[in-house]
């Protein structure tokens, strides 16, 4: 099929646009700029690693159910793995957020990368909140009784009933994780497309010798 | 783990720091302090293999 014919079909049109926006060498690069060799650039992928553990342990918990995660020792272990993976997820995500904030990660046409990251952070808070509500213990009842007043005060209590386990569980194990994962995929594709944000340029010193400048730019 | 349980008692109410309008549990303050320390360390510590670049 010629290029002209391919562009007439919707699949060909999507493929051409996708390859133009994100060519294979950008989608799966084998080299990164030298400035990426810093620990501060590690926290994004650390967040994704924690997310993988969260999803994997969450799938096991969801398949086995509350009676298992409360009663059996293996169930309690996976419950703890899920909880502590969430703790690690938020810990490294906040360090990632600080790093990107202080290096102005929205520069160079990367505003959508920044905004998707910020939205992931907010949706993840909602996902964690519905997770605490899905524990099926006194802790979740306490959090629900505290949270319902706030949600009623902002007028969403009729649609988001924190005392309804089924509703909160659906939000926690399906709707919000799907949004988080979709946004993470979009976020990573945007990073691939626009590249990792470089650090701010070093301030140029007046009358500095040329050899010094060369050494600093490395 | 009895040793660990005696080190951090998770069965009693949390300790809070309360100063004027500021109120936060000691556990949350520790986590925030740890995040700040990790952030500073991530900037200052050398990354393995960085010196080998051409």
Per-residue pLDDT tens digits for B11-37: 788 889 999 999 999 999 999 999 999
Residue B13 lies in a domain: yes
CA dist A121 and A140 (Å) reads 22
Write phi, then psi, for A137 (nearest 5 degrees): -145, -175
Nearest to A83 by CA among A59, A60, A58, A105: A58
Residues of B engaging A, defined by a Cβ cutoff of 8 Å: 31, 34-35, 38-39, 41-43, 45, 47, 49-50, 53
Facing residue for A34 by CB, picked from B35, B39, B53: B53
Decide: pTM greater than 0.80: yes
Residue B14 lies in a domain: yes
Task: Give residue limits of the domains in chain A.
Answer: 38-103, 110-196
| CATH node for A110-196 | 1.20.810.10
Distances (CA, A) of A76 to A59, A68, A141, A165, A177: 14, 8, 19, 20, 22
Residue reference for tokens 């306490």: A142
In chain B, how many domains are there? 1
Chain B residues inside the 8 Å CB shell of A98: 35, 39
Which pairs from B11-18 meet CB under 8 Å and 24+ separation?
none
- Could you tell me the residue range of the domain that residue B13 belongs to? 2-38
Residue B52 lies in a domain: no
Nearest to A52 by CA among A184, A192, A193: A184
Residue B50 lies in a domain: no
pLDDT by residue for chain A (218 residues), tens only, comes to 566 666 689 999 999 999 998 999 889 988 888 889 999 999 999 999 999 999 999 999 999 999 999 999 999 999 999 999 999 999 999 999 999 999 999 999 999 999 999 999 999 999 999 999 999 889 899 999 999 999 999 998 888 999 999 999 999 999 999 999 999 999 999 999 999 999 888 776 665 554 444 444 43
Residue B25 lies in a domain: yes
């Amino acid at each position: 099929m010629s290029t002209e014919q391919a562009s007439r079909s919707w699949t060909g049109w999507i493929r051409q646009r996708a390859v133009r926006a994100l060519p294979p060498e950008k989608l799966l690069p084998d080299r990164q700029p030298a400035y990426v060799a810093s620990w501060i650039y590690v926290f994004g992928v650390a967040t994704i690693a924690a997310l993988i553990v969260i999803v994997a342990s969450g799938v096991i918990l969801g398949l086995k159910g509350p009676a298992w995660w409360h009663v059996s020792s293996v169930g309690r272990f996976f419950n703890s793995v899920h909880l502590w993976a969430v703790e690690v997820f938020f810990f490294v995500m906040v360090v990632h957020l600080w790093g990107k904030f202080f290096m102005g990660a929205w520069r160079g046409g990367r505003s959508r990368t920044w905004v998707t990251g910020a939205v992931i952070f907010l949706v993840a808070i909602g996902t964690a909140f519905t997770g605490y509500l899905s524990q099926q213990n006194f802790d979740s009842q306490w959090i629900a009784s505290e949270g319902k007043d706030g949600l009623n005060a902002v007028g969403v209590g009729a649609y988001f009933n924190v005392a309804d386990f089924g509703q909160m569980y659906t939000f926690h194990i399906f709707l919000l994780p799907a949004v988080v994962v979709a946004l993470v995929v979009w976020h990573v594709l945007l990073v691939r497309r626009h590249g990792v944000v470089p650090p701010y340029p070093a301030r140029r010193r007046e009358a500095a010798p040329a050899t010094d400048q060369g050494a600093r730019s490395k | 783990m009895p040793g660990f349980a005696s080190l951090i008692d998770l069965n009693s109410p949390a300790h809070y720091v309360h100063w004027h309008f500021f109120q936060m549990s000691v556990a949350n303050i520790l986590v925030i302090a740890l995040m700040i320390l990790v952030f500073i360390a991530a900037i200052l510590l050398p990354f393995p293999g960085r010196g080998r670049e051409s």
